[in-house]
Amino acid sequence: MSKKRLFILLVILTCLAVGYGFLAGLELPLEDFRYFINQHTILGPAVFIIYVIFATVVAPFSALPLVPFASYVWSPVALATYFFIAWNISAGIVFYISHHYGRDWIKKFVNLETVLSGGCYCYAQLFPWTWQIMLLG
């Protein structure tokens, strides 16, 4: 990755972090927010689930800033159910993408012959005691 792309990526991530921090510091009228979401019994959870799926599949985004708002609107059981549904759907999407396009993307970053021949630097060489821990488990 070139230095220019890395710099642009860092600027974007910094802007997202500052934006999330700014939104977290706002005093929002949560009762109106709760009433609005509860009026739309299907659309509210659907939008939340779609956002969590998007945040899981696309790496720079995060669903964590929405958790305080969502826990205020829905019960913990409903929120856990929505997260469960979203994470399972996003896992399916990510597995599909990695199954069909993963090898082509990995070839761009890693020499595949080195990996298949076992010549890569693995954790057993970094930490020789990992085999002992694996045998204990």
Q: Which of 46, 50, 48 is nearest to 58 (CA)?
A: 50
Number of domains in the chain: 2
Does residue 35 sit within a domain? no
Does residue 92 sit within a domain? yes
pLDDT tens digit sequence for 93-128: 989 888 888 777 777 777 767 666 665 555 555 556
Containing structural domain, residue 23? 1-28
Looking at residue 115, what is its pLDDT? 61
Looking at residue 78, what is its pLDDT? 92
The region, left, alpha or beta by phi > 0 then psi within -120 to 50, assigned to residue 98 is alpha
Looking at residue 119, what is its pLDDT? 54
Alpha-carbon span 62 to 118, nearest angstrom: 35
Specify whether 45 is located in the same domain as 101: yes
Does residue 120 sit within a domain? yes
Specify whether 58 is located in the same domain as 104: yes
Specify whether 8 is located in the same domain as 56: no
Tokens of residue 85, six digits? 């549904």
Burial of 25 (0-12, 13-18, 19+ CB in 10 A): exposed
